Amino acid sequence: MSRTSIKYKFDNGRGQKLAGIIDMPAGTPDFFGVFGPCFTCPKESHAAAKVCRHMADNGVAMLRIDVTGQGESEGVFATENFTTRVQDIVAASAALTRDYQAPKLLVGHSISGTASLAAVKYLPEIQAVATIGSPRDPASIIEKFRRQNLITDKGGDDMEILVINHRVAFKKSFIDDMLAQRVAEDTAAIDRKLFVFHAPHDAIVTADNAQDIYDRAISADRELVMLDPAATHLFENRKEDAAYVADTLLDWFRTHLK
């Protein structure tokens, strides 16, 4: 038997149903994990699908999600923010705990990796957290958007941000929420295993962000893992990068799974 992909719905804790896919291995899973996708990425994005499928091929069940208002999930993406992304990740973990078993791995791509750094304090069952191509903190994202003139004030509470050549609508409260976060403090307090994966020549989120995450995580058992020089932010060109991330996580769990 090979892995199967199961459509999964769960409540985000704010009255909306979120959509996910559980990549389920053949036989009984060794453990479960949660994967949060990049900023505007759905659960079918390259990084999410490739990493989770490789994990499932090697015995681990992985839930990859659409955050609120994205993909097949209910809600309006323009009204969401960093705090709600953290809540969605926590809700995904709670749903797995209720319906299957508590997840032991939390993986976040890009901004969801940043959100995972904040979410893990609410998830005592998580044994390892991994960021992939993630910004150091939400404030640095806003600083970059402003520096590159990517934020447009549309009047009233309406804003627009140019994200990888796509215009994305948001409310002003999104920016306020990003600037109010304390992810640097959250990172310093992480007491679980932490993997910080990054493409050396990432053109979207520069690799110095990975170094900062690693340097801040003074309480964690941490590893800074640079990917192949040919790796990209979205993992759109090569399956080897996702396989390397998955294999690195699998190798650690083979000797540390509790």
- Residues 160-197 have pLDDT tens digits of 988 878 888 999 999 999 999 999 999 999 999 999 99
Cα 243–chain centre separation? 17
Check residue 163 and give its pLDDT: 84
**Ranges of the chain whose pLDDT falls below 50:** none
Ranges of each domain in the chain = 4-139+182-256
DSSP state at residue 190: -
Integer-rounded Cα radius of gyration of the chain: 17
Q: For residue 147, how many C-alpha atoms fall within 13 Å in the half-sphere facing its CB?
A: 6
CB 17, CB 74: distance < 8 Å = yes
Q: In DSSP terms, which residues pair with 22 in a beta bridge?
A: 6, 63
Check residue 166 and give its pLDDT: 83
Check residue 2 and give its pLDDT: 83
Fold of the 4-139+182-256 domain: Rossmann fold (3.40.50)
Check residue 125 and give its pLDDT: 97
CB 27, CB 1: distance < 8 Å = yes
pTM: 0.96
